[in-house]
Structure formats: structure tokens, C-alpha cells
Amino acid sequence: MPENALNVLNALERNGFEVYAVGGCVRDYLMHSECNDVDIATNATPLQIKSCFADCKTIDIGEKYGTIAVAFENEQFEITTYRTDSAYTDSRHPESVCFSKSLADDLKRRDFTVNAMAYNPKCGIIDIFDGCSDLKNRIIRCVGDPKTRFSEDALRIMRAIRFSSCLGFELEEKTKNAAFECSYMLKNVSSERLRDELVKLICGKDAAKVLVEYARILAVFIPEITPCIGFCQHSRYHKYDVWEHIAHAVSSIAPDADARLCALFHDIAKPACFTIDEDGTGHFKGHAAVCADTAQSIMKRLRFPAKQTELVKTIIYYHSDANYTEKSVKRRVSKLGQKGFDLLLNLQCADNSAKHDFCRQRLEGFEKWRSYAKSLEEKNACICLRDLAVNGNDIKALGFCGADIGRVLQNLLGLVMDERIENDYDALISAARDMSA
């Protein structure tokens, strides 16, 4: 256990209180995983906690529920009084809590057995719900009745499948059945909380499996998923239905939030664009633009940051255009920047990796264009307006004004990237004069 966490436990014990590290930090310790946050439970009341740490800064982040944050040696620890909960009327918070002197009372209100263990250096592991066994068997099981746990806070459904994705665990049968049965309750959960769990889920190592297995749960708050489930693509390139293809694309790209969101939504509106030839071949003409708009709509609804939403929308918009030339790569890099173009190539690689094996032959070509784009940066090629040998003032001096200045600069940049003129002041000014004619 981190030294400062031990010091916090020792401080409470010196004052005569019972205290344990609880929840995820114990689970992570037993799994030999890095533990970033140590949550602490004690029989001390909030006022007694404050008294024990009178020399430290304390924050009442949830005193009503028994939680006090203590700033100790530049680290912050959440310390919560043992408690029992009353009914949950808002599907998130209990109507009231009753402080308890029993660790068992506190542990039995927790979500899953693997999160309902406690640890103290003197007592060792306290495991009254057999969480160690579930860890060993890689199982997510609710503490007590699953329907009760999910009714108390429906976000626990998302937490369950997120743990399945990130840890590679299976949901125990009763827990799984209750997750589907109670999934309608997710409509009562805030967009922000759903968003945060979704991002963690899609970045998990078993994301593809979980996305396919629990698609109907995700569709409660992303209904755009439903038409994709089981939708046959009728294409020689595809071996999966639309949703399975999306799931495998997600797992084929780096576990970065931006990248995986691009993969998650890159084909989300394909069914709405479907047509089929007389020979039975399916087509999805124009789907990239429709999927980009749909992704934007979903991300706005889930309150993703505007900048991230715009990035994902833009990358998806271009993802089906892979017939690159040196000129088109310059324009893509100019539009997206080096990082954006790299993300686009990553999405296109993931997209093709989730098709029939022969489509993977395209990956070599994408790597070729990645190297070419990098070479543009290394030789300081002119690919954006700030690289031009002229600026807005130069164009204004020629008599242009307002939006025409930007139009002329963009046209000049296009000429340079297409290698029709040199990036030379005199050549650019001459070309600009011709544009005024």
C-alpha cells in the first residue's frame, strides 16, 4: 500500500478508530495491478475524521453521506464512515444514510463482490462475500440481489460491463440477467456518467466481445446502435454484420479515447444508407458523411467536449476516402494536421482489419502514406497557410478585403500543394493578382 495511505490509516488507528482500505484498491492489489486511488472506510464519524486530521486540509465532499476528503502530504484521500443506506429514490443516491460501527454493514451495500473487500495491515484481507474467489474465477457478481443493486444505481449496469471489458471478466449469470432486465433504468442516469463509463468500456482489452454481447444495453442510451445489430452488409469485403464490424474495428485501434470513439461511430448510420443491386451486392453510398453527423449528434447528447466531438466527426467524415495520392495527402494533412491525419490512417487500418483477411493488404499502403506525411513535416513542406511566403496583409495590399483575403490565401495554398507554383513571394503575389481579374 502507498506510504501516505498507510499513514492515514495509522493516524485513525492511533486515535482509537477502526479503519480499512476498501473497494477497487484492494481488488487491484490482489490482481497485482497499479492502484491510483485508495478509498478508506472507518467507524469514525465525519466530525471525528476532521478532528484526527485537524492539521490537514479537509473537504466536505459528501459529509451528508459520511465522506470527507483529507489532503495529506500533497495527496487526497476520501475517508467514509461505515454506513447503511435507505431507499434510492433518484437511482443514484440513497434518501438518507445511517452511520454504522460495523464494517460488514458498509461492505454489503457495495456493488460487486470484487469491490466489497477491505484491507488493513494488521487484519489482512476482509472478504465476507467471497470476492477473492470471484477474482480468481474472473467473475463480476453483485453483492446480494442484483436487481436491488442495479435499482439503487443503474450506472452499476455500465460499471459491470465496463469491468468485463477492462478486466476480461464474465458477468455471473444472475448479475447478467438482471443487467439486461434493468437496463431500461439507464435512461434515468445522467449523460455525463454514461459517457465516462462508455469511454472506459470501449478502451478495455475485451471491448469487442462486450460491445457485441451487451449491445442491447448500450442501445438504451445510444438507440442508433439498434439498426446496426444483425444488419447484413451483403458485401464481399465484410465478414461481420454492421455492429460486429464496428466492435472489431474498436478493438483493432489503439486504446485511446479519441481513436476508439472514431471506430465506435465510424459506421453507426450505415443501415440508413443501404441499397442493394440486382445481383445482391450491398452499397452504402455517402455513409461517411451521414455517420459523421450521427456521431456528432450522439456525442452532443452525451455531453462530450465540443473539441473532441468535432475531431471525431471530421475523422469519420473522411474515413471512406482512401484513394490517396501525394497531392491528396498534402490536402488531408493541411485539413487535419499531422496528428489528425495519423488518427485517420489508424481508423482506416482498423476498419480494414475488421473485414475479410484480403482487405488487410491495404494496411501496407496506409503505412506508406503515413511515412510520406511524416516526410512533409520533416522537410517543412508548405501544407498550411502559415507556411505560405505571403500573408493576409500582403493580399490586402493588393486590394482584396474581407472574406476574399482568406479565399485568395486558400487558393494560393492549393496551387503550392499541387506544385503548380513555387512557394515564393513574387510568384504568389503574381498569382494573387490574376485572381482579382
Same domain as 375, residue 232: yes
Same domain as 262, residue 178: no
Question: What pLDDT does residue 73 have?
Answer: 82
- By percentage, how much of the chain surpasses pLDDT 90? 87
Of 221, 245, 271, the one marking the end of a domain is 221
Question: What pLDDT does residue 36 have?
Answer: 75
Same domain as 281, residue 348: yes
- Looking at residues 40-54, what average pLDDT do you find? 94
Instruction: Tell whether the model's pLDDT for residue 301 goes beyond 70.
Output: yes
- By percentage, how much of the chain surpasses pLDDT 70? 97
Question: What pLDDT does residue 197 have?
Answer: 98
Same domain as 298, residue 227: yes
Name the residue among 237, 233, 298 with its Cα closest to residue 265. 298
- Looking at residues 226-244, what average pLDDT do you find? 97
Average pLDDT, the chain: 94
Highest mean pLDDT among 28-32, 78-82, 220-224: 220-224
Same domain as 389, residue 360: no
Please give the Cα distance from 111 to 388 (Å, whole number).
59
Number of domains in the chain: 4
Count the Cβ atoms, other than its own, within 10 Å of residue 298.
24
Same domain as 391, residue 279: no
Question: What pLDDT does residue 272 have?
Answer: 97
SS3 91: coil
Question: What pLDDT does residue 437 have?
Answer: 54
Question: What pLDDT does residue 77 have?
Answer: 93
- Looking at residues 46-69, what average pLDDT do you find? 89
* Domain at 59, CATH number: 3.30.460.10
Same domain as 403, residue 316: no
Question: What pLDDT does residue 94 have?
Answer: 63
Measured at the CA of 73, the angle between CA 67 and CA 75, to 5 degrees, comes to 50
Q: Are 35 and 28 in contact (CB under 8 A)?
A: yes
- Looking at residues 231-252, what average pLDDT do you find? 97
Same domain as 4, residue 68: yes
Instruction: Tell whether the model's pLDDT for residue 160 goes beyond 60.
Output: yes
Which residue range forms the structural domain that includes residue 325?
223-381
- Looking at residues 358-382, what average pLDDT do you find? 94
- Looking at residues 89-111, what average pLDDT do you find? 81
Question: What pLDDT does residue 65 have?
Answer: 80
Of 205, 221, 237, the one marking the end of a domain is 221
pLDDT tens for each residue of 180-194: 999 999 999 999 999
Question: What pLDDT does residue 365 have?
Answer: 94
Same domain as 424, residue 353: no
- Looking at residues 255-280, what average pLDDT do you find? 97
Same domain as 313, residue 212: no
Helix (H) or strand (E) holding 265: helix 257-265
Same domain as 48, residue 189: no
Instruction: Give the pLDDT band (50/70/90) at residue 113.
Output: very high
Question: What pLDDT does residue 347 have?
Answer: 98
**CB-count burial class (<10 Å; 0-12, 13-18, 19+) for 212:** middle
Same domain as 154, residue 114: no
Question: What pLDDT does residue 88 have?
Answer: 61
Chain centroid to CA 259:
9
Chain centroid to CA 375:
31
Phi-psi region of 230 (alpha: psi -120 to 50; beta: other; left: phi over 0): left
Instruction: Tell whether the model's pLDDT for residue 220 goes beyond 70.
Output: yes
pLDDT tens for each residue of 393-436: 999 999 999 999 999 999 999 999 999 999 999 999 999 998 87
pLDDT tens for each residue of 141-151: 999 999 999 99
Please give the Cα distance from 319 to 321 (Å, whole number).
6
- pTM for the complete prediction? 0.91
- Looking at residues 262-266, what average pLDDT do you find? 98
Retrieve residue 146's grid coordinates.
Answer: 442484483
Instruction: Tell whether the model's pLDDT for residue 86 goes beyond 60.
Output: no
Of 191, 221, 251, the one marking the end of a domain is 221
